[in-house]
Structure 1
Amino acid sequence: MSTDSVVTRAQPDLSDIAGFWTLPIEERHAAFDELRARPGLPFFAEPVFDGFPPGPGYYALTRLDDVVAASRAAGVYSSRRGVTSVVDRPKGLITSMIAMDDPRHARLRRIVSRGFTPKMLNALTDNVARITRRVVDDVAGRGECDAVADLAARLPLIVICDMMGIPESQHEFVFHQSNIFLGTEDPEYVPPGGTMLTAFQDAIRALRELTDDLVRQRTAHPTDDLTSALLNAEIDGEALDAEELAGFFSLLVVAGTETTRNAISWGLQLLTENPDQRALWLADLDKHTPGAVEEIVRWSSPVMFMRRTLTGPAELSGQRLDRGDKVALFYWAANRDPRHFAAPDRFDILRSPNPHIGFGGPGPHFCLGAHLARREIGVMFRELLTRVPDIHATAPPRRLRSMFINGVKSLPVAFTPTA
C-alpha cells in the first residue's frame, strides 16, 4: 500500500459510524468540502465491527472527476472483493452482480436483461402508475401519515414484489429483511445480544429462503412474472444458476427499493424546506418533473459510496495507488463538487447541467434500475403534487445511522385531506 499522503490526524473520521455519520448533513458536507480541497486523497483506518477482522484502510474519493475515472476503469478498480462496505465481508455469502467483474458481470447482466422483455417493461410502466395511485389513495383522506412507511417505501416494494411474483402476504417480510440487510450499522436493526454480522447473515439467509421457495414454485408452475422469465433466460446456451439467481434477487429487492424510497423521502423534506421550489414545480408539472427528479437524486444521493479494490497501480489527483489498495467512491460528496455544480448546496429543480452520479458512475456498474427509479420518483411526486399539493414534513426526518445509505427511517407529513 502506498502512503504518500496518509492523513495522520484525519478529522473528520469517515469511519466513525456513531459519530461522523450522525452529524447534521450540513456539517458532513462541510467536512467533505475540506477533504476535497486537500491535495491527494485522504486515507482512513477502517471501521471496527464485531465479527470482522481489522482491514488495511482505504482512500476516500470525494471529487467527481476521480469517482468518474475510477468507475470507468472497472478493470483496475475491481468490485470482486466487495462493494457495499470498506470492510471485507466474510466468504460464503451470496454474491450479487454488483460484486463481480467482467467477464462474469457482463455475462450475468446480459442474461438478466433478457428477462426484461418489451411486454414486461410495458406492463411495469403501467404498474408504476397504478400502484402509485393506490398508495396515495390509502392516505389521501387522512391528512397525515408517515411518508416513509406509507408512501416512499410502499411504492417500490410493491412494484418489485409484483414484478418478481412475491405475494402480498410476504411484502412486510421483504420490507423488514431489506431494512436489516442495509441497516446493520444502525443499532435499531441489530437484535439484542446480536452483532452486525449475525443480523446481516440472518437477513441474507431469510431472503435466500424466500428466493429458493419462489424458484421452486415457478419451476413447477411458470407464470408471466420476472422470476419465470429469468429461469428461462439464456445467452449462448448459458442460464443463471441457483446462486446467481439468488444473488440477483437479493440485489433487486434491496437496491430496487432503497434508492426510490430515500429519494422520495428526502424530496418531501426538500419541498418543505424550499417552498419556492415547490411553487415552481407546481406551476408546470410536465415541464419540471424530469429536472426535479434528477435534482432530488443529486441532493439526496441515497447510495453514498461504493468500494473498489485495485488490481494494479493507478493514479488519481496526483495520488499513487497500488494493487490491493481500497478506495471508497463517495457519490454523496462528488455530487456537491463545486467544480461541476454551481452553488452545490442549493436545491434547484432547474439545475442545468446536472451531471450527478446518484445512480453510480459511468461504466459497467451503472445502475440497471435507474430508469425504473426515475419513473417511480416522478410518478409519485406528480400524484402527490396533483392531489395533496400542500404535503409537508411536520418534524425532522429520523435518519438511518449508516455510512452507506443516506436513509430516512420515518418522516411525519401533513396535508389537506382529499377524497
Structure 2
Amino acid sequence: MTTTESTSADVLDNLDWWTRPVAERDALFARLRAEDPRPFVPELDLNGTPRGGGFWALTRLDDVKEVSKRPDDFCSGKGINIFDQPPRLKEYRGSIIDMDNPEHARHRRIVSRGFTAKTLAALQEDVDRTAHEIVGSVAERGECDFVTDVAALLPLRIVNNMMGIPRSQERFIFDQTNVIMAASDPEYVADQTPRSVARAVMAAGESLADLLEELARERIKNPTDDLISALVAARAEENLTPQELSSFFVLLVGAGNETTRNAIAHGLLALTQFPDQRALWQQDPDTHTGRAVEELVRWSSPVLHMRRTVTRDGVRLGEQEFAEGDKVVLWYRSANQDEQYFTDPTRFDITREPNPHVTFGSPGPHHCLGANLARLELSVAFRTLFQLLPDIRAVSEPDLLRSNFLHGIKHLRAEFTPKAVR
C-alpha cells in the first residue's frame, strides 16, 4: 500500500513507501503507538515481494529503551538490519554494531580511543576549518545541491582527516559508501535484484577493505599521529587487526557519515520550514546551539531503525512473550515522536527540554560512540552557515532515499545570496 491512506504496519518493509512524504509515515507511526504499538510485519524483498518471516515493530520509546538495555535477551550479533544478510555481506555493513560480547566489548574498548573528550577537543579546529572550506567553496555561486556539495562532504572529510586518509581518496570513498549504505536505491545500484545488490555491496566493501588494510599495514610499520595508527599500532595496548580496522572504517564513514550528512540536510529543511525557530537560533547561537542540535537529531531521526533478535524462548517485554529467533525492530523515528515524552512531536522546537531522544541509540552497550563527534560537526556546520550564508534556504522538495534504515536525503536544492569568501 503506497497511498496517503496507509493504515497497515505492513508498509514498514515496503521500500517504495519510504520515498513518500514524511508526514505520511509519521501519521502511521502515531496511529500504531496509540492502537497497536507492537505489530507483526511480514518481510518483503527489495522489490516488495513477500519473502517469508517477519518482525515485531516496536514503536514506543519505553519499549525501545527497554530492549536496548537487555542485550542478553535481545542480541545484535544476528544482524541489525531487518533482513538476514550472508556472513560476508554482513561484515561490510555492521562491524561493532553487529557484535555481542565478548567481541563487542573488545572492539568497543579499542575504538573508543578515537572518541575521548581529549581527542574531540583537539578536533575542534579541524572541524571549524573544514566547515569554512566546504561552505566557502559554494558561497559565490548563490545556489547548490546542499547534500552533495555541503552536507555529505563535511563528515566525510573530517573522518578522513582523523584517519589520515589522503584527500585524493575522498571521491572514491564517497562513492563506495553510498553503495554500501544506500544499496536499496536504484540511483546507487541500478539493478535492484537481490543478487545484484549483494554483488554491488560486496564489491564496494572489498574495495574499501583493500584501501584500509593497505593503510593499516603501513601504519603498523610507520605509525603517525592519526586514528589508524591509534587503533592498529598503539604500544602496550591491544589493537585491531588490519581486517578489523577495515570493517570499522566502513561503519565509521558509512553509518557515521550518513547519520551526520542526513542530519545536516534535514537541518536545512527545518530552518526553511520553521522560520521562527531559525530566527531564534540564528540570533543567539551561543545560547541555543546545544539544544538545537539535540532537537535536530530528534526531529530528523537519521537512522530509522535497528533490529535485535530474541536469544531464547520465554523472553518477555511487558505482557508479551517472545520465542528464540524472533526479530524485534526498534523504530527510532517513532520513539522520537512518542507523545508520552514529546509535546507536538512533529514540530521542530529548539527550546524543547527535556529531550530524551534515542537518535544515537538508547543507553546500553550499543549507544553510539560517535555521538559527541556528530554533535560537534552539527554545531560547527550550522554556526558556519549562519556566518557565511545567513539566508540559505531549501527551494525544492527533498529527494528521499529509498530506504527504511536511513532517513536519507539524496539531493536538496538550496539558494542564498552569493558571497565572496576568502
TM range (shorter): over 0.9
1:59 maps onto 2:56 in alignment? yes
Trace 1:146-225 onto structure 2 (pairs within 5 A): 146-192=145-191, 195-225=196-226
1:401 equivalent in structure 2: 402
Trace 1:279-290 onto structure 2 (pairs within 5 A): 279-290=279-290
Contact 2:78–2:98 under 8 Å retained in 1: yes
Q: 1:193 to 1:98 in 2, by over 3 A?
A: closer
SS class of match (1:308): strand
Contact 1:41–1:317 under 8 Å retained in 2: no
Task: Give 1:55 shift.
Answer: 4.8
Unaligned ranges ≥5, structure 1: 1-8
Contact 2:58–2:331 under 8 Å retained in 1: yes
2:135 equivalent in structure 1: 136
1:273 equivalent in structure 2: 273
1:73 equivalent in structure 2: 70
1:22 maps onto 2:9 in alignment? no
Contact 2:186–2:192 under 8 Å retained in 1: no
Task: Give 1:259 shift.
Answer: 1.1
Q: What is the number of residues matched between the two proteins? A: 407
Task: Give 1:76 shift.
Answer: 1.0
SS class of match (1:56): strand
Q: In terms of mean alpha carbon deviation, does 196-205 or 147-156 score higher?
A: 196-205
Contact 1:10–1:44 under 8 Å retained in 2: no
SS class of match (1:187): coil
Trace 1:262-341 onto structure 2 (pairs within 5 A): 262-312=262-312, 313-341=314-342
Contact 2:146–2:414 under 8 Å retained in 1: yes
- TM-score of the two chains, using structure 2 as the length reference: 0.92
The one-letter code of the counterpart of 1:239 is: N
Per-residue displacement from partner, 1:369-388 (whole Å, max 9, x unpaired)? 00000010011101111221
Contact 1:136–1:384 under 8 Å retained in 2: yes
The percentage of counterpart residues that share the same residue type is 51
SS class of match (2:11): coil
Contact 1:398–1:410 under 8 Å retained in 2: yes
**For the residues of structure 2 that align with 1:108 and 1:102, how far apart are their CA atoms?**
9
1:86 equivalent in structure 2: 82
**For the residues of structure 2 that align with 1:114 and 1:298, how far apart are their CA atoms?**
27
Contact 2:46–2:192 under 8 Å retained in 1: no
Q: In terms of mean alpha carbon deviation, does 265-274 or 94-103 score higher?
A: 94-103
Per-residue displacement from partner, 1:210-231 (whole Å, max 9, x unpaired)? 1112113222332111111111
The one-letter code of the counterpart of 1:129 is: D
1:123 equivalent in structure 2: 122
The one-letter code of the counterpart of 1:163 is: M
Contact 1:298–1:358 under 8 Å retained in 2: yes
SS class of match (1:46): strand
2:355 equivalent in structure 1: 354
The one-letter code of the counterpart of 1:225 is: D
Per-residue displacement from partner, 1:31-53 (whole Å, max 9, x unpaired)? 11111122461001112148x99
**For the residues of structure 1 that align with 2:9 and 2:43, how far apart are their CA atoms?**
14
Q: 1:193 to 1:330 in 2, by over 3 A?
A: closer
Contact 1:116–1:226 under 8 Å retained in 2: no
Contact 1:40–1:319 under 8 Å retained in 2: no
Unaligned ranges ≥5, structure 2: 1-6
Task: Give 1:189 shift.
Answer: 1.4
**For the residues of structure 2 that align with 1:110 and 1:231, how far apart are their CA atoms?**
13
Contact 2:136–2:388 under 8 Å retained in 1: no
**For the residues of structure 1 that align with 2:297 and 2:115, how far apart are their CA atoms?**
24
Per-residue displacement from partner, 1:163-192 (whole Å, max 9, x unpaired)? 111111110011111111111111111144
Q: 1:150 to 1:193 in 2, by over 3 A?
A: closer
Q: 1:72 to 1:265 in 2, by over 3 A?
A: same
SS class of match (2:330): strand
Aligned-residue CA RMSD in angstroms?
Answer: 2.0
